[in-house]
Amino acid sequence: MNEENEVKKYVQFYSTKLGKKILEQETRLVNKKLTGNKKVLSIGCGPALIEERLHQLHPNMNIIALDNSKEMIKCASKKISIIYGDAQHLEFKNSSFDAVLYVASLEFIKSVQKTIKETYRVLKSKGLLLVLMLNPNSKYFQERYNNYNSYIRKNIKHTNINNIQKIISQYFNIKNKGYYLGITEQNIIETIDQSIASLFVLEGKKL
Average pLDDT, integer, range 13-18: 90
10 Å Cβ neighbour count for 89? 9
Q: Which of 102, 112, 98 is nearest to 200 (CA)?
A: 102
Describe the strand order of the beta sheet including 197-206 as a list of residue ranges.
81-84, 62-67, 39-43, 97-103, 123-134, 197-206, 172-184, 187-189
Which residues are within 8 A (CB) of 23 and not within 5 positions of it... i.e. 6 or more apart? 14, 49, 50, 53
> pLDDT tens for residues 140-157?
999 999 999 888 999 999
Domains of the chain plus CATH, in order, are 3-206 (3.40.50.150)
Question: What pLDDT shows up at residue 1?
Answer: 53
The answer to whether 89 touches 165, Cβ cutoff 8 Å, is no
Q: What is the DSSP letter of 86?
A: B
Average pLDDT, integer, range 71-91: 93
Average pLDDT, integer, range 83-92: 97
> pLDDT tens for residues 99-154?
999 999 999 999 999 999 999 999 999 999 999 999 999 999 999 999 998 889 99
Q: What is the DSSP letter of 68?
A: S
Q: Which of 144, 145, 137, 143 is nearest to 193 (CA)?
A: 137
